[in-house]
Amino acid sequence: MGDIRRRGAVALGVTALVAPLTLVLGAAPAQAASCTTQTGPYQKKVEKFLGRPADGKQSTADCKAIRAFQTKHGITPNIGYAGPVTWGVMNLMQKQKAVGKTPNKSGKCPVNKGRIACVDLTLQLSWVQDGKKLVYGPVPVRTGRNGHETRTGLKKVYWRNIDHHSTIYDVPMPYSQFFDGGQAFHSAGVSMWNPPGSHGCVNMTKTDAKKYWSLLKKGDDVFVYGRKPGT
């Protein structure tokens, strides 16, 4: 995260916590010299996900399709190899889709707090609910990577800055809503499935971050639970 301007006597206490990844992650990944001809360990599953003939054998067309997916989501190296990272992203997408409109089916996010923003780290999903009523979402989010995990527990939105900018990473963080030290909801200009994750903030698309800005206010509850894959 960046250092945060202090308001009044409140020290926001940013250490080396969170923010989107550095500028390089906002750029398109470098193009590989050529597609790989190697068949990956998740070849058949990846082919099926992409709507390709699921024969479990790498082809030129398979490689191009896999490579396009990798490029779109910032998966490197983007050489069209059906490896564990690529399949991990696809598998997460499938699990997210399966949730549908019942993200709190397990009841893990409190329903006795009124308006609350929930973050499921395991499924990389967030939503806003009011009691048992789903207000918005669920939407895919990008949380803290290994070593910079988004901290779990019940928190509150304590500071909001619509035009926040990280001075440590020199990147914009539009629609920032801070809820735990330097950890905040904010818009990020990368795919929500871009590995390995943020430095702890809950990254969102601009559309979703803007909607959260309109739905939440200072003092609203935030509940973070679960564990991000790979952390």
pLDDT in tens, 171-205: 889 999 999 999 999 999 999 999 999 999 999 99
Task: Tell me: do 147 and 220 sit in the same domain.
Answer: yes
Task: Tell me: do 67 and 124 sit in the same domain.
Answer: no
Tokens of 184: 């905040």
199 assigned to active site:
no
Q: Does any domain span residue 124? A: yes
Q: Does any domain span residue 92? A: yes
CATH number, domain of 122, equals 2.40.440.10
Q: Does any domain span residue 30? A: no
Peptide bond into 195 cis (omega under 30): no
CA dist., res. 156 & res. 215, Å (int): 14
Range of the domain at 51: 42-97
- Tell which residue, 87, 75, 84, 78, has the closest CA to residue 46: 87
Q: Which of 148, 164, 186, 199 is catalytic?
A: 186
Number of domains making up the chain:
2
Average pLDDT for runs of 10 along the chain of length 231: 38 32 35 82 98 97 98 97 98 98 97 97 98 98 97 98 86 94 95 96 98 98 97 94
Task: Tell me: do 70 and 157 sit in the same domain.
Answer: no
Q: Which of 63, 109, 118, 201 is catalytic?
A: 201
Say what the pLDDT of residue 128 is. 98
186 assigned to active site:
yes
End-to-end CA distance of the chain: 19
Query: Helix, strand or coil for residue 164?
Result: strand
Say what the pLDDT of residue 33 is. 55
